[in-house]
Every structure is written in structure tokens, then in C-alpha cells.
């Protein structure tokens, strides 16, 4: 016996036929009720907005990769200037310098410079980089101050190049995230969409630094 509201019965309820693979099973008899409630129809998971965000994410990833390479060369330049007095961007170790006890002063100078940048530039450059990116996602609507995009890699290059015991992975992840956040703020998109761009930039920075794209994707997730 045909039940009331059954699509096969030909009563033509739109809601009863609008099932999706992601939805829960629904009694056909609820069709008229949901139509009167004017429940919004579920949109497709893939639409032009997703394609647009994907293209922007690819552009941000390419830019973050360039920034990662530039950061590596800037570290090499500052290391050569500080410890060897030569103008070269070749990545080298400061361990073979001939400065004697003066070598103890160089990291101190680097720390003072970075401290001044954090004090008068942006406090967001403090820290490792990854926790700060996660904090902005959780509490700051994925908004990085625009100046972090410039100050973070420069301060990291000074700290590392002048003998600080740090690595480049955290700063470049934070820089990539800040770049994605900046582009998101310029495009006037939602906080969730901006979070996607921030994660894309951070993952691209990690992939460019370590050559590990799969691990970078897992980090972004």
C-alpha cells in the first residue's frame, strides 16, 4: 500500500526527493512539514567558491615556497657578513670563523636586534612560529598582522644567521601562514575561508623547507 508523501506516489514533494549521500534517512511523510518550514537546500560540496579558494591556495603556496628559499639565502648572507665579513648568500656554518672571543658578542647583538623588532615592530614575531599560527586560528579568526609577513622571516634570519640556536622551519611556517592570512584579509573572505588559506601557506612553507609535502599536508589538517 502506498504511503502518503511517498515520491513514487506522484504527489511531487520536492523535499522528499532532495536526499543527499551525506544526509540522514528521512521519513517521506515529513516532506510537507519541511517545505512549509522552508528549510534551505543543501548545496554541492564542490562549487565555484571551492575552486576559487583552491586556486588562491596554489598561488599562496608558490609564493611561500619562494619566501622559504629567500629566507635560506638571507640566513646565509647574514652568517657570512657576521662571522666572515664577506658578501655571499651561500649557506655556511659559523663554526669555522677566526673571531676569537668576539664570537660571543655576535649572538648577543642579534638578540638585541630581534628584541627591538619584537618590541617596536610586532609582538607576533616572538616564539617558535607553529604555536603562534595555531593561536591565530583558534582565537584570532586566522588574522595575522600584515607586518608579520615581513618581520618574521627577517627577524628569523637575523637570529639564526648571527648564531642563535634556532631552526628555520618554525619561522617559515609562520611566515607562510601570515602570507595566507594577509591574502585572505585583502580578499574580504570569511574566517573559515581565511583559515584554509593560512593553513595552505603554512603547509607550503614546511614543504619548501623540508621537502616533505605529505607531512606538510598532515600538519595543515
Using one digit for the tens of pLDDT, what is the confidence trace for 8-48?
A: 444 544 544 555 555 555 566 666 666 666 656 655 567 78
Q: Within a domain: residue 24?
A: no
The rounded distance, in Å, linking the Cα atoms of 198 and 53 is 11
Q: Residue 61: what are its φ and ψ, rounded to 5°?
A: -60, -40
pLDDT band for position 6 (cuts 50, 70, 90): very low
CATH of the domain at 98: 1.10.3080.10
- The number of folded domains in the chain is 1
Using one digit for the tens of pLDDT, what is the confidence trace for 151-177?
A: 888 888 888 888 887 777 778 887 888
Q: Within a domain: residue 32?
A: no
Q: Which one has a higher pLDDT value, 138 or 205?
A: 205
3-class SS string, the chain = CCCCCCHHHCCCCHHHHCCCCCCCCCCHHHHHHHHHHCCCCCCCCCCHHHHHHHHHHHHHHHHHHHHHHHHHHHHHHHHHHHHCCCCCCCCCCHHHCCCHHHHHHHHHHHHHHHHHHHHHCCHHHCCCCHHHHHHHHHHCCCCCCCCHHHHHHHHHHHHHHCCCCCCCHHHHHHHHHHHHHHHHHHHCCCHHHHHHHHHHHHHHHHHHHHCCHHHHHHHHC
CA atoms within 13 A on the CB side of 134: 9
Q: Within a domain: residue 22?
A: no
Q: Within a domain: residue 3?
A: no
Q: Within a domain: residue 185?
A: yes
Q: Within a domain: residue 137?
A: yes
8 Å CB contact between 117 and 125:
yes
The domain in which residue 159 lies consists of 49-220
Cα four-point dihedral sign 102, 126, 182, 68: positive
Q: Within a domain: residue 69?
A: yes
Which grid coordinates belong to 109? Answer: 647583538
- CA-nearest of 142, 146, 141, 106 to 125 is 146
Cα four-point dihedral sign 134, 139, 144, 148: negative
Using one digit for the tens of pLDDT, what is the confidence trace for 101-136?
A: 888 899 999 989 988 888 887 766 676 556 666 666
Q: Within a domain: residue 40?
A: no
pLDDT of residue 109: 92
Cα four-point dihedral sign 81, 86, 91, 97: negative
Query: Is the pTM higher than 0.85?
Result: no
pLDDT of residue 141: 63
Using one digit for the tens of pLDDT, what is the confidence trace for 71-80?
A: 888 999 999 9
Amino acid at each position: 500500500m502506498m504511503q502518503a508523501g511517498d515520491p513514487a506516489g506522484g504527489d511531487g514533494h520536492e523535499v522528499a526527493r532532495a536526499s543527499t549521500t551525506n544526509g540522514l534517512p528521512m521519513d517521506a511523510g515529513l516532506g510537507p512539514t519541511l517545505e512549509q518550514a522552508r528549510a534551505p537546500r543543501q548545496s554541492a560540496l564542490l562549487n565555484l567558491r571551492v575552486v576559487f579558494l583552491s586556486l588562491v591556495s596554489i598561488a599562496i603556496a608558490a609564493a611561500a615556497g619562494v619566501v622559504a628559499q629567500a629566507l635560506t639565502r638571507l640566513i646565509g648572507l647574514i652568517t657570512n657578513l657576521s662571522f666572515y665579513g664577506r658578501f655571499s648568500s651561500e649557506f655556511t656554518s659559523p663554526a669555522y670563523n677566526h673571531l676569537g672571543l668576539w664570537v660571543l658578542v655576535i649572538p648577543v647583538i642579534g638578540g638585541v636586534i630581534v628584541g627591538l623588532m619584537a618590541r617596536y615592530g610586532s609582538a607576533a614575531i616572538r616564539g617558535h612560529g607553529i604555536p603562534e599560527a595555531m593561536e591565530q586560528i583558534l582565537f584570532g579568526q586566522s588574522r595575522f598582522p600584515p607586518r608579520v609577513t615581513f618581520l618574521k622571516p627577517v627577524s628569523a634570519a637575523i637570529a639564526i644567521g648571527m648564531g642563535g640556536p634556532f631552526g628555520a622551519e618554525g619561522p617559515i611556517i609562520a611566515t607562510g601562514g601570515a602570507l595566507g592570512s594577509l591574502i585572505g584579509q585583502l580578499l574580504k573572505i570569511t574566517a573559515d575561508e581565511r583559515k584554509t588559506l593560512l593553513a595552505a601557506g603554512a603547509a607550503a612553507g614546511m614543504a619548501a623547507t623540508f621537502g616533505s609535502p605529505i607531512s606538510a599536508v598532515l600538519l595543515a589538517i
